[in-house]
């Protein structure tokens, strides 16, 4: 018996290989959940370049590896598409018990004075507004079902601390802390918990791009030197792994976490202590 036998889970931004979303979806599926793999499917504008998003073919390949999984294309910037994603879970799998807001933009990094209004809006629209729409859509279904539920946002160490060249990203993740604290108060009486998971740096496909970018920003001799310096400042002496975040999400979605809500859980190997 898995912890999530009979449960239906939606994971946004789960259509990229080696991403946090894939790891989360696979972990939930391994423990019995029927998972909806969701991503934007194709580049739609300058803010969603092809190399940084989950394409439909990649989504399908990930879903094919998970028993009972399905796929649903969704641009989380559009509340109608987010509601349609929730409806897909109900129509295809018979309900909705777990919703993970994982979709995010972490590849628009620039010095403060170079950030454009379009850059700012793109990050806030996906990372903060997209989570807001997801919370609303998931809660609407969960309240109607009357059996509670679990909603988890993938925030970041940047929800707790500031980072150069990441003004919009950091603001969006800090915003998730306030959003979660407020929304959890209203959802608690319905038996719905709402929490954030805050990982430090994880070398996913996006993380590899960030490694190269920030190695240049700090003047490291190489990416390897940059990563070694990162590991040296982390008490556990390594950056995070996708599975570290996936395991934290699974815990917050489980019955063991039934009395935990409005929290922002660090998964940082001790690098982020507050």
pLDDT (tens digit, 9 = 90+) per residue, 69-124?
999 999 999 999 999 999 999 999 999 999 999 999 999 999 999 999 999 999 99
Of 92, 56, 96, 98, nearest to 75 (Cα)?
A: 56
Cα 255 to Cα 29, 185, 252, 271: the distances in Å are 16, 19, 8, 28
Task: Give the angle subtended at the CA of 169 by the CAs of 133 and 173, to the nearest 5°.
Answer: 55
CA distance 104 to 106: 6
CA distance 138 to 230: 36
CA distance 154 to 28: 15
What pLDDT is stored for residue 1 in this prediction?
Answer: 74
What pLDDT is stored for residue 71 in this prediction?
Answer: 98
pTM: 0.96
Mean pLDDT, residues 169-185? 98
Instruction: Compute the CA torsion angle 92, 42, 142, 154 (nearest 10 deg).
Output: 130
What pLDDT is stored for residue 29 in this prediction?
Answer: 98
Q: Are 272 and 230 in contact (CB under 8 A)?
A: no
Query: What integer best gives the mean pLDDT of the chain?
Result: 96
Catalogue the E-assigned strands of the chain.
8-11, 34-39, 70-73, 98-101, 149-154, 192-199, 264-267
| Cβ neighbours, 10 Å, residue 140 | 14
What pLDDT is stored for residue 12 in this prediction?
Answer: 98
pLDDT tens by residue, 248-265? 999 999 999 999 999 999
Q: According to DSSP H, which parts of 146-256 are helical?
A: 167-187, 205-218, 223-233, 242-253
Count of residues in the chain: 274
| Cβ neighbours, 10 Å, residue 251 | 16
Mean pLDDT, residues 225-250? 95
Q: According to DSSP H, which parts of 31-99 are helical?
A: 56-64, 79-93
Give the CA diameter of the chain.
56
Residues with Cβ within 8 Å of 166's Cβ and at least 6 positions away in sequence, in order, are: 109, 158
Instruction: Give the helix, strand, coil percentages of the chain, each rounded to 5.
Output: 50, 15, 35
Q: Which residue has the tokens 């194709």?
A: 42
| Cβ neighbours, 10 Å, residue 62 | 26
Q: Which residues are catalytic?
A: 169
């Amino acid at each position: 018996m898995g912890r999530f036998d009979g449960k239906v889970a939606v994971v946004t931004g789960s259509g990229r290989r080696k991403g946090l979303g894939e790891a989360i979806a696979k972990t939930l599926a391994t423990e019995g959940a029927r998972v909806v793999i969701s991503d934007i499917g194709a580049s739609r504008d300058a803010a969603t370049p092809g190399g940084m998003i989950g394409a439909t073919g990649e989504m399908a390949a990930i879903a094919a590896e998970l028993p009972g999984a399905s796929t649903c294309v969704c641009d989380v910037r559009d509340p109608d598409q987010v509601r349609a994603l929730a409806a897909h879970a109900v129509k295809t799998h018979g309900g909705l018990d777990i919703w993970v807001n994982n979709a995010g933009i972490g590849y628009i990094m620039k010095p403060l004075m170079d950030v454009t209004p379009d850059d700012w809006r793109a990050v806030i629209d996906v990372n903060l507004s997209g989570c807001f729409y997801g919370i609303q859509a998931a809660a609407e279904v969960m309240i109607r079902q009357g059996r509670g539920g679990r909603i988890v946002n993938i925030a970041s160490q940047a929800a707790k601390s500031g980072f150069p060249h990441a003004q919009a990203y950091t603001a969006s993740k800090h915003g998730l802390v306030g959003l979660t604290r407020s929304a959890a108060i209203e959802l608690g009486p319905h038996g719905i918990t709402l929490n954030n998971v805050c990982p430090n740096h994880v070398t996913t496909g996006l993380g590899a791009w960030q490694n190269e970018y920030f190695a240049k920003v700090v003047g490291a001799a190489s990416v390897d030197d940059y990563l070694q310096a990162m590991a040296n400042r982390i008490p556990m002496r390594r950056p995070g792994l996708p599975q570290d975040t996936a395991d934290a999400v699974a815990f917050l979605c489980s019955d063991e976490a039934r009395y935990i809500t409005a929290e922002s859980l660090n998964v940082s190997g001790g690098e982020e202590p507050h």
